[in-house]
């Protein structure tokens, strides 16, 4: 983080109640709004999900594997617009997103920080021809997996993944089945 970033504080119904500095929200376990983006592509008959490994200098969950992109909307910014903005900034992808659902989670990290978020799950698709241009400040590595492979890895080695990934994935799967 270079400039001071702010998050939208919310109540349990995801209604805005104020703003806070991002680091302050994570230090004080303040409930705030966030999003998780999942990008898919079809390779022949196989549907693949784009994962990113978080940059090694992130102040929480460094080096862990997670969904394609995750962040927080800025005060006054629409959720879809925020997801599309961060996807361009983190992965160099311009993709139209749809909201699949949302969930609340509260995770505490060994460095004393926490995530207490209402997480909006956003979904989009690209073609195999689309080029990924990861931002090294945000992304250490990326890879494609099938949902079946990811579920197997989450079960075998949950410590290699962010705490929100499994729940967000279930929201995505419910959305793709119903749409």
Q: Is residue 15 part of a domain?
A: yes
In this prediction the pTM is 0.94
The answer to the question of residue 30 being in a domain is yes
Query: Among residues 48, 84, 90, 117, which one is catalytic?
Result: 117
Range of the domain at 20: 6-178
| Domain-embedded: residue 164 | yes
DSSP 156: H
- Average pLDDT (13-26) is 97
For the chain, how many structural domains are there in total?
1
Tell me the pLDDT tens digit for each residue of 52-98.
999 999 888 889 999 999 999 999 999 999 999 999 999 999 999 99
Q: Is residue 101 part of a domain?
A: yes
Calpha distance 51→154 (Å, rounded): 13
Instruction: Answer whether residue 1 is part of any domain.
Output: no
Catalytic residue among 70, 84, 90, 115: 70
Q: Is 159 in the active site?
A: no
69 counts as catalytic: no
CA nearest to 72, candidates 164, 9, 135, 13: 9
Domain annotation covers residue 119: yes
149 pLDDT tier (thresholds 50, 70, 90): very high
CATH number of residue 69's parent domain? 3.90.79.10
pLDDT at residue 60 in the model: 82
Q: Where are the beta strands (DSSP E) in 64-176?
A: 65-66, 69-71, 98-108, 114-126, 139-145
Identify whether 14 is part of a domain.
yes
Band (pLDDT 50/70/90 cuts) for residue 176 is: confident
Whether 71 maps to a domain, the answer reads yes
């Amino acid at each position: 983080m270079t400039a001071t970033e702010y998050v939208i504080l919310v109540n349990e119904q995801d209604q805005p109640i104020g703003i806070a500095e991002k680091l302050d929200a994570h230090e004080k376990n303040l409930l705030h709004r966030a999003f998780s983006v999942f990008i898919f592509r079809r390779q022949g008959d196989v549907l693949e999900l784009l994962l990113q490994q978080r940059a090694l200098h992130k102040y929480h969950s460094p080096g862990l594997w997670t969904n394609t992109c995750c962040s927080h909307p800025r005060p006054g910014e629409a959720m879809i617009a925020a997801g599309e903005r961060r996807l361009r900034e983190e992965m160099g992808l311009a993709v139209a997103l749809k909201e699949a659902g949302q969930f609340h989670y509260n995770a505490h990290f060994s460095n004393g920080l926490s995530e207490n978020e209402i997480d909006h799950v956003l979904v989009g698709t690209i073609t195999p021809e689309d080029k990924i241009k990861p931002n090294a400040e945000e992304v250490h590595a990326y890879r494609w997996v099938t949902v079946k492979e990811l579920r197997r890895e989450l079960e075998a080695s949950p410590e290699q993944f962010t705490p929100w990934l499994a729940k967000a994935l279930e929201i995505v799967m419910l959305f793709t089945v119903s749409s």
